[in-house]
Chains A and B, each alone.
Chain A
């Protein structure tokens, strides 16, 4: 058995799309360090993007960051050092450098090699989680697929210790938390009631977003939309100019706020004090579920439409137990939203149902929290890996 508390793990992360991949890797690394006493070295390919990401995060001296250059100009000693790790994680199927693979093949006791995959709620995930993936490099090398997921037979979801307590605290003091936020934006409670509907928006480009925001602007109900800097801003066609970080715009009954790029912790806080969260991809999607507020997922679009199957699979799990009529409308909203179609009639129906959706989001959070988190599961997996290929 590996003595996990003196372990050194090496992680490889290719930043494909903004900060989702590094966001997941960063959270995992932090948790491995703080909760499991593991030393983490992380190789990241997009160095400028990493620097941007780091510029707003809390310092994390425990993570040893290294620049993963495409041509891998590392001396043999570095490859040997990596091969001497207890665990190598290739995040989201990124391919290890050939020199590193060669170094793994040359050592008698290579590290366990984990391909940490993307999150999906589909049934097949449980059947693939933890399976070996022999690489023909050396019989000593054991590589496994590790799938995050929503079921106990999967690797679970990232959830650091104390996260749910933080959400409880923020939500118990929601009014004062909001007041603090309003003040930071220069908005007084006289201008905007603290019980105004508050929505966070973190999506990919989506033609449906403009229609929804116009509906909110014309609706008469005070609404604050917080749209952090990013791709959502590319979809605000109804505005004459694209908003920039720091802007606070009043559009009818809608106050549109564009905060600057923020840290993971600040984003968690925002999710917690909003009434409805529009999220995307994997990292914000998972964090919104821990915040236990009603949400709408903009899944990463794939050419062959397979993302809609993944969306349906998630809804099959998470909407179980919801009132059938509400569930039907919510499912329609999610499907239309993900196809960029007009959602205004569905929002009109669902707006008064937010308290029921909130109740359901809390139950879903509790259900997910009954399972161990991903980092804990992963450490257990490393301690007791299944047999590799049975010969």
Chain B
């Protein structure tokens, strides 16, 4: 069992006897009570989708699934294709990549985890931290080196996020894939 606080996109929970993959979750605080977790769920068996809300301390039955290391290969509309160490191709739809789609780009070398339920791939997990290059951002702000002032930056795949004001076009940055937040600028 896990609490609803610990459940993340890509994981699978059992609800009333059916396995549901968490596609997206959103945490909010309502007044003095504990936080709540709104989840977008997809039934693994029949593809039905629904939304639910849980108190973060609600206990949920969590299923440990088979995983395999894979890397991204190419996009063959409408499927994203990954390969494992035996060069076996694994196809997954855009819907099932909801939580990581923002970081998928051609040429990425991150070692990902393909997650399977009854032999079928249901999600791809990225490493907790990934490095991406800034394709475009406004010129750096002089004088600020604290990193507290932020601005918008666009990655090579078009995804936008907030980065420190001193980041420039061509810089490589670390991103936390769980929160989607910029962590730091890195040298390559």
Instruction: Give the distance in Å from the alpha carbon of A323 to the alpha carbon of B45 in the complex.
Output: 56
Chain B residues near A147: list those with CB within 8 A.
30
Chain B residues near A175: list those with CB within 8 A.
none
Q: Given that A124-B28, A147-B30, A390-B50 are contacting pairs, would A135 and B58 also be in contact in the complex, using a CB cutoff of 8 Å?
A: yes
Instruction: With both chains docked as a complex, state the minimum distance between the C-beta of B93 and any C-beta of chain A, in angstroms.
Output: 20
Q: B interface, by DSSP: helix, strand, loop or mixed?
A: strand
Count residues on chain A whose CB falls below 8 Å from chain B CBs: 31
Q: Are A124 and B31 in contact (CB under 8 A)?
A: no
Q: Are B33 and A118 in contact (CB under 8 A)?
A: yes
Whether, in the assembled complex, A115 has its beta carbon less than 8 Å from a beta carbon of chain B, the answer is yes
Whether, in the assembled complex, B128 has its beta carbon less than 8 Å from a beta carbon of chain A, the answer is no
Nearest opposing residue in chain B for A391, CB measure:
B18
Q: Are A136 and B16 in contact (CB under 8 A)?
A: yes
Chain A residues near B60: list those with CB within 8 A.
136
Count residues on chain B whose CB falls below 8 Å from chain A CBs: 28
Instruction: With both chains docked as a complex, state the minimum distance between the C-beta of B14 and any C-beta of chain A, in angstroms.
Output: 7
Instruction: With both chains docked as a complex, state the minimum distance between the C-beta of B35 and any C-beta of chain A, in angstroms.
Output: 9
| Chain A 368-391 near chain B by CB (<8 Å), digits 1 or 0 | 000000000000000000000111
Q: Are B31 and A117 in contact (CB under 8 A)?
A: yes
Q: Are A391 and B33 in contact (CB under 8 A)?
A: no
Whether, in the assembled complex, A302 has its beta carbon less than 8 Å from a beta carbon of chain B, the answer is yes
Q: Are A282 and B31 in contact (CB under 8 A)?
A: yes
Chain A residues near B32: list those with CB within 8 A.
16-17, 92, 118, 300, 302
B32-79 with Cβ < 8 A to chain A: 32-34, 36, 38, 43, 46, 48-55, 58, 60-61
Instruction: With both chains docked as a complex, state the minimum distance between the C-beta of A142 and any C-beta of chain B, in angstroms.
Output: 10
Chain B residues near A79: list those with CB within 8 A.
none
Whether, in the assembled complex, A306 has its beta carbon less than 8 Å from a beta carbon of chain B, the answer is yes
Candidates B33, B43, B48; contact of A93 at CB < 8 Å: B33
| Chain A 104-125 near chain B by CB (<8 Å), digits 1 or 0 | 0000000000010111101011
Chain B residues near A139: list those with CB within 8 A.
16-17
Which residues of B does A touch, CB under 8 Å? 14-18, 26, 28-34, 36, 38, 43, 46, 48-55, 58, 60-61
13 other A-B residue contacts (CB within 8 Å) besides A124-B38, A133-B53: A93-B34, A93-B55, A117-B33, A117-B36, A125-B30, A127-B26, A133-B54, A136-B14, A300-B32, A302-B32, A390-B48, A390-B49, A390-B50
Those 8 A-B pairs whose CB atoms lie nearest each other, nearest first: A118-B31, A93-B33, A131-B53, A139-B16, A145-B53, A134-B15, A390-B50, A117-B30
